[in-house]
Amino acid sequence: MSNQYNNLLAQLDKLYRHNRQGSFRTRQRYYEAMQRFCRFLAEEYRLERLANIAPKHIFAYVDFLQGKGRAASTIKTDLSAIRFFHDLIPTPRYELPDNDALMLQRRSFGNVDRTWSHPEFNRMLACALDAGREDYITILYLGRYAALRIHECFRIDTATAAKAVKEPALTIKGKGGLMRTVPLNDILLNRLRFHLERTQRGHKLFVPDGAQTHEAIKELQAFIYQSRERVQDPDSCRLMTFHGLRHTRAAEWYQQFIQEGRTPYEARRAVAKLLGHGRDDVTRVYLASLKGGGGHG
């Protein structure tokens, strides 16, 4: 265990020992949920004080839990645990967002549209261009048109990219070691060629030499978070995350398969294969932007 995690756990234990609110069962359930949150804070942010928990940490944790397929009711309970202990902190620096701000007003996350609009995507690309981040531009394209998870993008090395350009399709290892192959359009092929010319053979395309992959991922997530206010459509209340680009592409794939004459079930199965998972209920979550979550057939 990391020093950050042990430090946060010591602070949590102190709060737990001096609290007598609620039943023993509730306190224990909340304590276990808070332990998981402390591990997330330590691994992803290297946070050292519970008093410094900020809204950005809550938004990121919700996105993390959603990405792991946690049920809305489970996430709500975990957030209740976080708020419970946050209220026990003598001098917290920040006020935490409520469920409405976190898009948790509905019982199921399957009802929440997380896609990006075309203008939002283009504005985010412009932000990356202004920042001189050609790597971010390519990664955004990979999320938008190949539906890659953020860690899958940062896993790409020169051998993987060269094979993808030759085929042309990207074979990538996803969750649970599940391999999948995703077709690439001309934009993605050109972007991969661009980085292949600038990356030393055997190295990762988007992780600078000497840097840690998880740190590179956090930097991109922070960039998206900091740019959202300038990028998001004025009338939108969607929570913009990189993962939302997978939702955007999934909806487009589904509509494409339906237009080709496949049944809703067949279309969802095809989308699931391209996304790299096999559960129909998870596919419906990705298709929340479509009426009925991709049909009932």
pLDDT at res. 135? 97
* pLDDT tens sequence across 132-176: 999 999 999 999 999 999 999 999 999 999 999 999 999 998 877
What pLDDT sits at residue 292? 45
CB distance 81 to 38 below 8 Å: no
Residue 247 makes CB contacts below 8 A (sequence gap 6+) with 113, 114, 115, 286, 287, 288, 289
pLDDT of residue 41: 93
The pLDDT score that the predictor gives to residue 287 is 58
Q: Which residues of the chain have pLDDT under 70?
A: 1, 22, 67, 69, 99-113, 278-297
The verdict on whether omega for the bond into residue 208 sits within 30 degrees of 0, i.e. cis, is: no
The rounded distance, in Å, linking the Cα atoms of 220 and 293 is 29
- 146 close to 122: Cβ distance less than 8 angstroms: no
User: Within 10 Å of residue 185's Cβ, how many Cβ atoms?
Assistant: 12
What one-letter code names the amino acid at 26? T
Under 8 Å CB-to-CB from 240, ≥6 apart: which residues? Answer: 116, 120, 224, 228, 231, 232
pLDDT at res. 67: 67
pTM of the model as a whole: 0.62
Task: Tell me the CB-side half-sphere exposure of residue 65, using CA atoms within 13 A.
Answer: 22
As a three-state string, the secondary structure of 56-89 is HHHHHHHHHHHHCCCCHHHHHHHHHHHHHHHCCC
Task: State the number of CA atoms in the 13 A half-sphere of 283 facing the CB.
Answer: 23
Q: For residue 135, which of 201, 207, 224, 48 has the smallest C-alpha distance?
A: 207
